[in-house]
Structure 1
Amino acid sequence: MNRPEPLPPLAPPAGMGPLPVGRWFLLAGTAVALVFAVGVTAILIALTQTQGARKTLVDVIDPTALHTLEISTALQAQEGAIRGYGLTTEQQYFQDYRQGVADEQAATGQIAALLPRLPDPSALRSRMDRLTIAAAAWRRDYAEKIAAAVPKVGANAVNRDLGKVNVERFNDVRAALADQQDLLNRLHDLGRDRLQKGWRTIYVAVAVLVGSLALAVIGCTLIVRYVVILPVARLARQVRAVATGDFDRELGVERPAELRELSGHVDGMRRRIVSEWRAAEEARQQFAEQAKELKRSNGELEQFAYVASHDLQEPLRKVASFSQMLEQRYADQLDDRARQYIAFAVDGAKRMQLLINDLLDFSRVGRVGGELTPVASEDALDRALRNLDALLTDAGATVTRDDDLPEVVGNTLLLSQLFQNLVGNAVKFRGSEPPLIHIGAERDGGMWEFHCSDNGIGVDPKYADRIFLIFQRLHPRDVYPGSGIGLALCRKIVEYHGGRIWLDGGEGAGATFRWTLPVVGDPDA
């Protein structure tokens, strides 16, 4: 049978072909992580700016505007109180005036504390200086003159000239207040715009994050679909086609790298299986032809066995019969040498018949033995001893056995022949004492180990293997008759049952043969 040709590599070399699935997801994950990092950074920056804008607006600009309003209120209160004091000379008005001044100074001090935290402190500082100067000029030129004149002239302290001065100086105060309030309004609008811009940035960054996550989900879905699901489905269709009998169908997908390698291995396995299958099919055909030839050969062997057992033995019987008749009829005419020749011819014919029968028995083992079934070894031994009854009686032999010989898996006729050959050998090769033969068995795992011991002449251990070969004899034929097939037949019977037989090389007289047979119910039997 020809060996299949070497197959090409199962998969492309490493580092070639499309990206693996892990690389696809790594790239997608890196892109998503980058977008996510940018979005989170933008949100953090926007939150920081928004927080700063909110603190500036709420904690600085709005309180400054409130304190400016307090200054305006305090100045209005001062103007009304000092004018009332000049018209009525009542001290309550003068006290209200002093309270207004104190309130103005307190509000001015609070604004001065907030100035460093304003977005443009110099602009507000210049306007505060203008307001302070305008308020000081009004108090110097109007309020303080009325306060100084009331104790002297009483209600006549307020005159037309001071009224004009009041209008002029207080208009300057109002203008300074309006300018400062306008600046604070602009700063308020600027802070509000910064706050709104920060929130818009946060909204945009959150939207970008949500969009990037959506794109990541879509991208992963597309990767799974086009890089995993579709190639797997394509490979599955190809495998199904092969499974349905299209063994020449090529398997292969181009992406991803893992599936490409896997498809290469699967295709290589397909090609190897197809190659082995074709080789096995060729071998099966050859085995079928050999089985057919073997069947024909067995048929011829059966025919030969029939001829050997009938037609071939008939001439031998005639040779022996007519030789004996020749000796009887012409006995008085034959000398001793002629009678010896006739005896040789008769003996040769009988030995040829024995040899043919033994060869037939040897050839039948395993061919016409029948099915192996549970067999009681006691029954097989009894049958063998009945066949050897005359021989055992003539030799004065004693055969003993263990109390309970086991049940084994085998064929009754073959096992009987095995016992018969071993016991017959023990009687044939006996010594000067009457033969003592013992049959026993003990369990050895999944096998029964039998033994047949005798007190005969024994066997030299160096011939332990030779004695089981066909036609091998250790003694001359005129000393111990036989065909040299007995032990070879025993070996063939034991091996047919799945066991083995050997000569025990123990010390002492006689010989001990051991053999194994399967235990009934053993799974390996």
Structure 2
Amino acid sequence: MDHPDTFHRLIYELITAEHRSDAAREFAHYGGASDLVFFVLDREVGALITALGFPPTMPDASGWAKFVEDTAKSGSEAGALTYPLPGQTIHCLGRSTTRDAVVVFIGGEPRVDFIAQVIDVMPILRVLFQAEQAVLNANATTALARNATRQLRSQAASLEQARRMANSELIERHKAEEALRVNAAELERSNRDLQQFAGIVSHDLQEPLRMVSSYLGLIEMRYAPLLDDKAQEYIGLAISGSQRMSQLIKALLGYAQVGADERTMVPVPLEAVLIEAQGNLEARIVDTNASIQCTDLPSVKGDHVLLVQLFQNLLVNAIKFSRKGTAPVIRVTAVDQGSTWLISVADNGIGILPSDHSRIFGVFQRLHSRDAYEGCGIGLATCKRIMGRHGGHIAVASEVGVGSTFTLSFPKSGSW
């Protein structure tokens, strides 16, 4: 059985590889095909074209164009196409979920599960490939516009030429405004696609993981007397791995949804936020004998759910990275700095090296092994994303062996 991480790694390489055609070929081999090509709708020309990084032209262009167009309409096509050279044909499968993106599996015998996996991630790939094409088109348009402007300025020897130049600049501004409007619409659609993808991940990945974990637990419980120590160790590792993957998926969904949802910002009292976050962590606080102290906290304009998540992540980190033999002590304070509120969350934990201060806010950035400290490496990245949604920022000051202080800067404009 293929490891699920292989599919995700190949998708990542397909997205980021400098030579995308080579990455696509490796991806196709993994699924049983000889090669594959993605086509996306270019809104500038109103036609489906190969995505950036794939061959810009195909042999027998008209035959390929008809096959891709038929796939976009029907959702599924099969047939022989000319590839890779004129005079050579190969059996191909075309799949599509919308009319603006098509994937063609070339040759081989692509597995049914692989085709289904590719179709599941097509909404995300479509957004990425169309965004790349839009950037390329925008760069070309900008280059042409700049060249035209330079030519006009070089010929501007009269008032009439100056007037024409002003008109040209006005037109360019209108184009830029229109491009901004289109990009805003694309961003909104991308957010919808992200939410759709989050739903797919939640259902299609979480449910199988729960089933795997449950059945492994049943095997461990019912057949324990029949299993030797090594078999029981393997089952324990499998259960632990599925639980970690489930936690990772939930963390990624939380990270993605911070920026995907439309949220109404209202006055939120931070004292109530802190109380709720403490309540969510009551068992952990009692188990570790943690002490949480706070001064009077202000209200800020924000989203209550996101702010609870923000403080809960910071409290979890402070408790998790406490020094052995020392009960965690966490102090939450507020300072009025005129235009901003500075909220500090200070602990007496193990501290962070100066060289790691910026690194810790990245996704999947762990400073310690999983055996030493649990977690997915997404908590502080989510905090940074939440602060960005609130127009603020987060920073850290720390001394190894003494503790860390995370500072949250909330703008006062619109605060109460």
Relative to structure 1, the CA distance from residue 479 to residue 519 in structure 2 (aligned partners, 3 Å threshold; closer, same or farther) is: same
Aligned to 1:423: 315
Q: TM-score, normalised by structure 1?
A: 0.49
Cα deviation, residue 292, structure 1: 3.9
Aligned to 1:354: 247
Partner Cα separation in structure 2 for residue 520 and residue 395 of structure 1? 38
Aligned to 2:8: none
Relative to structure 1, the CA distance from residue 373 to residue 268 in structure 2 (aligned partners, 3 Å threshold; closer, same or farther) is: farther
Query: In the TM superposition, what are the counterparts of 1:428-447 in structure 2 within 5 Å?
Result: 428-431=320-323, 432-447=325-340
Q: Which amino acid aligns with 2:187?
A: L
Aligned to 1:410: 302
Partner Cα separation in structure 1 for residue 320 and residue 400 of structure 2? 21
Query: Secondary structure at the residue paired with 2:225?
Result: helix
Query: Secondary structure at the residue paired with 1:281?
Result: helix
What's the C-alpha RMSD, in Å, of the aligned pairs?
2.1
Are 1:385 and 2:278 matched, yes or no?
A: yes
Contact kept, 8 Å, 2:393 with 2:408, in 1: the verdict is: yes
Q: Which amino acid aligns with 1:276?
A: E
Contact kept, 8 Å, 1:456 with 1:509, in 2: the verdict is: yes
Relative to structure 1, the CA distance from residue 335 to residue 460 in structure 2 (aligned partners, 3 Å threshold; closer, same or farther) is: same
Query: Secondary structure at the residue paired with 1:503?
Result: strand
Aligned to 1:29: none
Q: Which has the higher contact order (CA 8 A, sep 6+)?
A: 1
Post-superposition Cα deviations, 1:311-359, rounded to whole Å, max 9, x if no partner, equal: 2200000110011111112111111111111111111111111111111
Partner Cα separation in structure 1 for residue 244 and residue 352 of structure 2? 24
Give the gaps of 5 or more residues in structure 1.
13-263
Partner Cα separation in structure 2 for residue 344 and residue 508 of structure 1? 32
Are 1:299 and 2:192 matched, yes or no?
A: yes
Aligned to 1:282: 175
Moved more, 290-299 or 481-490: 290-299
Aligned to 1:345: 238
Partner Cα separation in structure 2 for residue 319 and residue 307 of structure 1? 18
Partner Cα separation in structure 2 for residue 329 and residue 508 of structure 1? 46
Partner Cα separation in structure 2 for residue 304 and residue 512 of structure 1? 35
Post-superposition Cα deviations, 1:358-415, rounded to whole Å, max 9, x if no partner, equal: 111111113225122222111111111111111111111110001x211212211111
Contact kept, 8 Å, 1:374 with 1:520, in 2: the verdict is: no
Aligned to 2:395: 502
Contact kept, 8 Å, 1:502 with 1:513, in 2: the verdict is: yes
Contact kept, 8 Å, 2:271 with 2:298, in 1: the verdict is: yes
Which of 272, 277, 289 matches 2:165? 272
Aligned to 1:371: 264
Contact kept, 8 Å, 1:471 with 1:484, in 2: the verdict is: yes
Are 1:396 and 2:289 matched, yes or no?
A: yes
Identity value in percent? 43
Aligned to 2:377: 484
Query: Secondary structure at the residue paired with 1:365?
Result: helix
Post-superposition Cα deviations, 1:415-470, rounded to whole Å, max 9, x if no partner, equal: 11111000110011111211110000101231111111111111112210111111
Bigger fraction of residues in strand: 2
Aligned to 2:410: 517
Partner Cα separation in structure 2 for residue 519 and residue 291 of structure 1? 27
Partner Cα separation in structure 1 for residue 273 and residue 166 of structure 2? 49
Are 1:463 and 2:356 matched, yes or no?
A: yes
Q: TM-score, normalised by structure 2?
A: 0.61
Cα deviation, residue 282, structure 1: 2.9
Moved more, 2-11 or 372-381: 2-11
Contact kept, 8 Å, 1:407 with 1:519, in 2: the verdict is: no
Aligned to 2:365: 472
Q: Which amino acid aligns with 1:399?
A: I
Post-superposition Cα deviations, 1:212-246, rounded to whole Å, max 9, x if no partner, equal: xxxxxxxxxxxxxxxxxxxxxxxxxxxxxxxxxxx
Query: In the TM superposition, what are the counterparts of 1:102-121 in structure 2 within 5 Å?
Result: none
Give the gaps of 5 or more residues in structure 2.
1-141
Partner Cα separation in structure 1 for residue 188 and residue 412 of structure 2? 32
Query: Secondary structure at the residue paired with 1:511?
Result: strand
Query: Secondary structure at the residue paired with 1:310?
Result: helix
Aligned to 1:5: 149
Contact kept, 8 Å, 1:369 with 1:414, in 2: the verdict is: no
Partner Cα separation in structure 1 for residue 161 and residue 289 of structure 2? 74
Partner Cα separation in structure 2 for residue 330 and residue 412 of structure 1? 47
Relative to structure 1, the CA distance from residue 420 to residue 441 in structure 2 (aligned partners, 3 Å threshold; closer, same or farther) is: same
Contact kept, 8 Å, 2:334 with 2:341, in 1: the verdict is: yes
Partner Cα separation in structure 2 for residue 501 and residue 311 of structure 1? 34
Partner Cα separation in structure 1 for residue 235 and residue 356 of structure 2? 36
Post-superposition Cα deviations, 1:186-221, rounded to whole Å, max 9, x if no partner, equal: xxxxxxxxxxxxxxxxxxxxxxxxxxxxxxxxxxxx
Partner Cα separation in structure 1 for residue 194 and residue 376 of structure 2? 21
Partner Cα separation in structure 1 for residue 414 and residue 387 of structure 2? 18
Partner Cα separation in structure 2 for residue 520 and residue 373 of structure 1? 12
